[in-house]
Structure 1
Amino acid sequence: MSAVVSHRLEELAAEFGMVERALGDPAMLADPREYARLTRRHRELTPVVTLYREHAGLGQDLAGARELLTDPDMRELAQGEVEALSARLAEVEAELEVLLLPTDPDDAKDVILELRAGAGGAEAALFAVDLLRMYTRYAEGAGLKLNVLDAAESDLGGASKVVAEVTGDFAFRALKWERGVHRVQRVPATESQGRIHTSTVTVAVLPEAEQGEVQLDPAEVRIDVFRSQGAGGQGVNTTDSAVRAVYRPGTPDEIVVVCQDGRSQIKNREKALVVLASRLAERERAAREERERETRASQVGSGERSEKIRTYNYPQNRVTDHRLEGEVKNFALDSVMAGGLAPVVAALSRDERERQLLEMQGEEGERGSYGAA
């Protein structure tokens, strides 16, 4: 293990100790936001520190076993112990390298999930509802909660647009791979000749903006109230509880957010402003990434909103994720649509870690070349 990695692990172990002490302080309960942040950080650090401590123990055991190699009576037994400990030590070091790879700072955040029907008309709207059902089941299995904030219903039980909030531990990490264009190939219920149609739904996954992350000028936001409509409004046609927040109305920067989740106008207003802040934060991130792409003259493929990321082929009962290669990119459609997204997410996460490791090795190789020069 390199000195850089060892130093980083020592820093994380020290931070873990400080977090544990802070969580044990009864006064911390007076600040729920800080307590929640420390709890998340404790969960993030636990796997790393657990492996780090195992690594330290293995190192001590290995040193002791090597000392026994000099004892003729214990040499054979010690040799087997040295081999077993060395093998496990190598495994732990490899696992630690993966855990130390850069992580997305938004991973622990809640999510604003937006689905918009694209090409395909009524069939696309129907598929948007199918995807919403898939995400709801996936969220339940992952210990998350999905709550629809707004839905524009269409004919035949579809939806041209759905906005939902997903809350829970590491909601963004669970859903961030869903950003992009989802393509479905199937025979629509309205197709009399049995022909396969292709439709699309665009999915946006926005990490929920934290308090203070985006400063909203009240003068730039118009708030409208109206009566809730459709399945999203529990107080339909009874109270003016639904809220529409319009950012910079009438300008090219205009953003419209509607929230009609519950009876409380105050809660709907608060949630609409959270969604608005999240969209603004996403807009700023997109603009920043675009500037970075121009600077380094390259594209970040998986970040492109317009990119087709996945195809759902109903006749062949197959889901293909186009960001993966080989047979690992194909999954059983019935399982995925039932909420079984975990294997897809695991494959995408594994692919990202492998690419990060290759990039890290390449950078270390370049530094070594410069040192040799």
Structure 2
Amino acid sequence: MFDRLDDLLIRYEEVMGELQEPGVADDPARFRKLMKEQSDLAPIVEAYQEYKSCKQNVEDSLAMLEEESDEELRELAKEELNESRKRIEELEQELKILLLPKDPNDDKNVIVEIRAGAGGDEAALFAAEIYRMYVHYADSRGWRTEMISLNENGIGGFKECVFMITGQGAYSRLKYESGVHRVQRVPETESGGRIHTSTITVAIMPEAEEVDVVIDEKDIRIDVMRASGNGGQCVNTTDSAVRLTHFPTGIVIYSQTEKSQLQNKEKAFRLLRSKLYDLELEKQQASEAEERRSQIGTGDRSEKIRTYNFPQGRVTDHRIKLTLHKLDSILNGDLDEVIDSLIAADQTAKLAKMED
């Protein structure tokens, strides 16, 4: 581990040197690449430098204890020694986590697909609430949201909703949200006051760039048509809606949220690329099934991951057996405690796998 850390320290100094070269900003692609590498290496280098400093403090404190006879100074040296040793243990753990292989998709934007499952209108209403939860969470982190496609049920619920979240590290935090979300509550339509259980599925897909997925034009049929639903005058009177059919996979994408056919086409292709990329990721994960089982689930759409229980005001994440009695604030976008716990559990599982 320490050989690798020494190599990374040398590389960090090289990157900093390159960034200070005259004219480096004249090549935007190279400048961006260097800045990205610098920001990735900085936390590792800072932790390693602090580690080396603590190791030096231990040596200095031990030397002082050998040479010093003044009791007060010896007490100070013992205190410094204990603090430095404790911090060294913490930093060793931090460095192991920082050196874990990084998910190449972590810095990507995400496309979120929410579908109502069992429970009819109640499931659709819950799907709309979960959509709002993610929008509030994105706002709290300074990320941008943009609707790609929406199928409403007429009473404020969403049968299906696809939207994009754009922001640094969006996938790294939201990738744990894929799976079945379950709600337990008394629906407004229920006169007898009985608690119903409904489900929705959430799929989190990293946004795929054109370089990630190449789509052959021969594999696509593009249909244009008039948008349906509440879209305003010009949306419903022009052929602005776009439907893409991808023959090899049977995936059909429908986009009608924009007034412009060109914009809807662009959104539809963006979603198709991400769906194809996600299929490729699923294939890879299936071939790494053993490794996936040792980690927190991030891909299985059929896995029941979380329950939102309204009568008890609680949210339970079943993967890590975490229960929080703060349903209202979580539905209002206060997701950090849940996500931080999932990330910590995932890192612990990966570390245990590496140490086996």
Paired position in structure 2 for 1:120: 119
Contact 1:150/1:259 (8 A) holds in 2: yes
Alpha-carbon offset, residue 63 of structure 1: 2.5
Q: Distance in 1 between matches of 2:146 and 2:234?
A: 16
Which of 340, 343, 351 is matched with 2:345 structurally?
351
- State the distance in 1 between where 2:255 and 2:27 align: 31
Task: Report the CA distance between 1:139 and its aligned residue.
Answer: 0.8
Distance in structure 1 (CA, Å) of the matches to 2:38 and 2:18: 10
Decide whether aligned partners of structure 1 residues 234 and 220 sit closer, same or farther in structure 2, where only a CA change above 3 A counts: farther
Contact 1:259/1:268 (<8 A) preserved:
yes
C-alpha displacement of 1:153:
0.9
Q: Which amino acid aligns with 2:348?
A: E
Does 2:289 match 1:290?
no
Q: Work out which of the residue numbers 324, 349, 356 in structure 2 matches 1:330.
A: 324
Give the deviation of 1:64 after TM superposition: 2.6
- What is the CA distance between 1:38 and its match in structure 2? 4.5
Greater shift, 50-59 or 227-236, is seen at 227-236
Partner in structure 1 of residue 276 of structure 2:
280
Q: Which residue of 2 aligns with 1:149?
A: 148
* In 2: Cα distance, 1:234 partner to 1:186 partner: 38
Partner of 1:130: 129
Q: What are structure 2's unaligned runs of at least 5 residues?
A: none
- Tell me, in whole angstroms, the C-alpha distance in 2 between the residues paired with 1:272 and 1:163: 11
Counterpart of 1:343, as a letter, is E
Of 6-15 and 158-167, the range deviating more from structure 2: 6-15
CA contact (8 A) 2:295 2:346 kept: no
Residue type at the aligned position of 1:353? Q
Q: Which residue of 2 aligns with 1:213?
A: 212
CA distance in 2, matches of 1:151, 1:207: 19
- Give, in whole Å, the separation in 2 of the partners of 1:62 and 1:166: 47
Shift of 1:296: 8.4
Distance 1:343 1:37, change over 3 A: farther
TM normalised by structure 1 equals 0.85
Deviations 1:308-363 (A, max 9, x none): 111111111111111013xx33342111101011100011111112222222222x
Please say which of residues 53-62 and 16-25 is displaced more in the overlay: 16-25
CA distance in 1, matches of 2:115, 2:153: 12
Partner of 2:102: 103
The alignment-based identity, stated in percent, is 42
| Structural mapping, 1:1-373, within 5 Å | 5-24=1-20, 26-28=23-25, 30-31=27-28, 35-36=31-32, 38-73=34-69, 74-230=73-229, 235-248=234-247, 253-293=249-289, 302=297, 303-325=299-321, 328-362=322-356
Note the alpha carbon deviations across 1:104-160, whole angstroms, 9 max, x for none. Answer: 221111101000111111111111100000000011112211111110111311111
**1:24 to 1:133, Cα distance in 2 relative to 1, 3 A:** farther
**Conserved? CA contact 1:234–1:261, under 8 Å:** no
Whole-angstrom distance in 2 between the partners of 1:203 and 1:296: 23
Moved more, 184-193 or 284-293: 284-293
Q: CA deviation at 1:301?
A: 7.3
- Aligned CA RMSD, in angstroms, stands at 2.6
Code of the aligned partner of 1:129: A
Please give the secondary structure, in 2, of the residue aligned with 1:182. strand
Deviation of the 1:22 alpha carbon = 4.9
Counterpart AA for 2:224: V
CA contact (8 A) 1:151 1:232 kept: no
Distance 2:276 2:143 in 1: 24
Deviation of the 1:91 alpha carbon: 1.8
| Distance of 1:135 and 1:237 partners within structure 2 | 29
Post-superposition offset of 1:44: 2.9
SS of 1:69's equivalent? helix
SS at match of 2:338: helix
Which runs of 5 or more residues in structure 1 are unaligned? Answer: 363-373
Q: Name the CA distance, whole Å, in 2 between partners of 1:258 and 1:297.
A: 32
Task: Tell me the SS of whatever aligns to 2:235.
Answer: coil
Distance of 2:184 and 2:265 partners within structure 1: 39
Q: Secondary structure at the match of 1:274?
A: helix
Q: Secondary structure at the match of 1:305?
A: coil
Distance 2:206 2:232 in 1: 24
Q: Which whole-Å CA distance do the structure 2 matches of 1:238 and 1:339 have between them?
A: 37
Equivalent residue number for residue 367 of structure 1: none
Amino acid at match of 1:338: N
In the alignment, the residues of structure 1 paired with residue 185 and residue 253 of structure 2 have an alpha-carbon distance, to the nearest angstrom, of 32
Q: Select between 54-63 and 165-174 the one with higher mean Cα deviation.
A: 54-63
How far apart are residue 292 of structure 1 and its match?
Answer: 3.5
